[in-house]
Structure 1
């Protein structure tokens, strides 16, 4: 019997229902620095995207932010987001049960967010015990999705070959990163009316579908192994 495949989970929108909180926090903070923004805009256009990239994109549309103001803006955004997460954050529906079912698989969180935010999210949602210290932040590794190197570095740290990894991500940037890394990818597409699944990824619409997809990919990987 083949060893369980390694599962590399995104955090926001995949494991924890943090995206609307993040959108609301950004919608409150960014306009005070002269960058018009709303929670709806985050959900429709920027889900999973690096905060710096969002700020730069808004700057191109509305006038660049005074660079001296960026550290204060980001610090306040992070402070308010952590406050909201500790008070309100919940896991994505079905995720706690799914993680129990997939307990035999090595697993990690791979996120475009800072390490402190990932740890706060896992603790606040009651998921920390499933991942231990297998938390990989783009801010720590210095590379952000959709660059595949974030997932590749996480796989290497886990001692896993890319073809032995399954990426589970809800955002297009993460799906694209996983595919480019040469990994199997499951797209938890919770907004199918607004977002298409990139070619090459398996699409599911609820976390409860995840174990079946993992079993199918495990069987596929086993069939490719030499006898």
Structure 2
């Protein structure tokens, strides 16, 4: 039965606990370029959102950057983030055991981040062997969540129809993308007192719930 389904995992906040690191890096570097920002603001307003979208939003609020400034900002952010990830990154609690239990399923990582960042996350946390190189980046495919096409392209590359896919994502943009793609969606809701799960998605609060929830979805 499991061969008939493919699991499509988001990376940041779903597989790896990178979002606090990213929030801190962005809270440090954006103000250096005249764009006021805080780690808390990332977590409350921009979690899971494409970096360029965040920068464009802040430019509209405060001041535009030149092309050279924007390029320097992004390069600096990526360099600092990779260093923090390699030194500090951990899997989301419960994910390693859940992936072990789900070993019979085809799996892929589908992220709004660059492929280099996804690979760094998998290497730093020792999760890469679960995905056998099936890493799909929005930057490579040139489409970003909440656009459902990112998940659709990943599913097609894996050889599965949308209805055969189960999306596991923690961020609103990813949950919306999975639902719009016509897939089953599990929302790992880390902030149940602050965020609601859209109708049509299954809400869980801990990764250790994944094996039993997926078993029910495929039954």
Q: How does 1:1-227 map to 2 (within 5 A)?
A: 1=1, 3-219=3-219
TM (norm. structure 2) is: 0.98
Q: Any stretches of 5+ residues in structure 1 without a counterpart? A: 220-227
Paired residues of 1:4 and 1:104 also in contact (CA < 8 A): no
Match of 1:224 in 2: none
How far did residue 89 of structure 1 move? 0.1
Could you tell me how far apart the structure 2 residues matched to 1:27 and 1:153 are? 32
Could you tell me how far apart the structure 2 residues matched to 1:4 and 1:142 are? 28
Secondary structure of 2:3's match?
coil
How far did residue 139 of structure 1 move? 0.2
How far did residue 194 of structure 1 move? 1.6
Could you tell me how far apart the structure 2 residues matched to 1:38 and 1:70 are? 18
How far did residue 68 of structure 1 move? 2.5
How far did residue 67 of structure 1 move? 2.9
Could you tell me how far apart the structure 2 residues matched to 1:155 and 1:42 are? 29
Paired residues of 2:23 and 2:38 also in contact (CA < 8 A): yes
Distance change in 2, residues 1:119/1:2 (3 Å): closer
Could you tell me how far apart the structure 2 residues matched to 1:13 and 1:127 are? 14
Distance change in 2, residues 1:139/1:2 (3 Å): closer
1:7-29 CA distance string (max 9 Å, x none): 00000000000000000000111
Paired residues of 2:170 and 2:187 also in contact (CA < 8 A): yes
How far did residue 4 of structure 1 move? 4.3
Could you tell me how far apart the structure 1 residues matched to 2:56 and 2:2 are? 46
TM (norm. structure 1) is: 0.95
Secondary structure of 1:160's match?
coil
Aligned length: 219
How far did residue 2 of structure 1 move? 6.2
Aligned alpha-carbon RMSD (Å) = 0.9
Secondary structure of 1:3's match?
helix
Could you tell me how far apart the structure 1 residues matched to 2:194 and 2:125 are? 26
Could you tell me how far apart the structure 2 residues matched to 1:4 and 1:157 are? 15
